[in-house]
Amino acid sequence: MLGSILFAIVAAFGIAAEQTEMLPATATEPSLLLRHMRGNGPSVIYIHGATFPSGSSMFYRIDGRSWADDLAARGFDVWAFDFAGYGGSDRPAAMREAVGAPIGRTEEAVPQIERVVRHVLRERGGDKVILLAHSWGTIPAGAFAAEHPELVQSLILFGAVAQREGVRTPTQVPALQVSEDDQWQSFQSGVPAGEESPINKAIFAAWAKDYLATDKASDSTTPPSVRVPSGAQADIGDAWSGKFPYDPSRVRVPTLLVRGAWDPVTKDADAAWLVAHLSNVPGGARDIVLPRGAHRMHLETNRQALFDAVGEYLLAAPKG
């Protein structure tokens, strides 16, 4: 019911008009595609995960409505961007190499987040933003919040990666190919036996078609696939072999962990590790577990539960 009311407000007042712009490249920085839905409230910047960009994520509309629409309806000023190597942003030439060091690791991602944050603050005023990150994106988002608490009002970690104690398999290629089937399998990961897929097959097919279109060269491979930087997988590999890419105790802003109950990336032990190590978050980090959700809950059938949990937290959260 709340989702229908919010969408009616969006439709009536036209506050969900999406705008795009480019942060131009410099001698040392890539061009970055930004998406924006203007609002009068605090600015929320979405930070995407390892395999799909903002247009396939926060700004992707299912049944005519996206997570960005939902936040805009609640009064927020909503932004997202594509990291270099994804979507509409610059694609490093080294991504075409067959072997080489992983591209797009946390140390490369954090300066891109900073560029976007400072751009948003110049455009919208104020001195802080809210960071809302998904999956691998929670690592550079957390690292940025740790380095720049003066610029962050709140930190939302959705489907967050935490430290585990495993054996690391080194990533030895600069980029990875991700097919439609790879994405379908990822959507099913963690779903208990006997449960229906968390995403309708027709909705997934439409999403996958748009996803493949984010890489103009996707048809050049068999099967068609999107080439993405491998740095995210390298960071996750480090995190899951006892080497977390940043120190969570340096985060000093209000922080929410939110996840689906079926999420195989943020299990109970993962969330417990993060909550314990986010030891200087004011009042302690909060962990919300939502029923009937997996790792891509923002694109799943039960996505409104996620939208409501995050929206209500942000409206009630103290300023950092």
Is 12's pLDDT higher than 80?
no
**CATH match for 2-316 among 3.40.50.2300, 3.40.50.720, 3.40.50.300, 3.40.50.1820:** 3.40.50.1820
d(CA 57, CA 71): 14
Beta strand pairing call for 255-260 and 286-290: parallel
H or E, element range at 106: helix 106-124
Mark residue 171 as left, alpha or beta (left: phi above 0; alpha: psi -120 to 50; beta: remaining): beta
Is 257's pLDDT higher than 90?
yes
CB 189 within 8 A of CB 299: no
CA 302, distance to chain mean position in Å, is 18
User: Residues of the chain with pLDDT > 90: what percent?
Assistant: 90
The pLDDT tens digits of the residues spanning 301-316 come to 999 999 999 999 999 9
Nearest-Å Rg of the Cα atoms of the chain is 18
Contacts of 77 (CB under 8 A, 6+ apart): 36, 37, 38, 39, 40, 41, 42, 43, 44, 124
Task: Provide the greatest CA pair distance for the chain.
Answer: 53
Q: What is the pLDDT of residue 171?
A: 83
Of the candidates 162, 3, 134, 146, the one whose C-alpha atom is nearest the C-alpha of residue 74 is: 3
Of the candidates 92, 88, 116, 89, the one whose C-alpha atom is nearest the C-alpha of residue 103 is: 92
3-state secondary structure of 107: helix
Q: How far is CA 105 from CA 51, 73, 87, 111, 231, in A?
A: 13, 34, 17, 11, 4
Is 15's pLDDT higher than 90?
no
**Which residue would you say has higher pLDDT here, 125 or 144?**
144
3-state secondary structure of 153: strand
Q: What is the pLDDT of residue 278?
A: 98
318 — pLDDT class (breaks 50, 70, 90): low
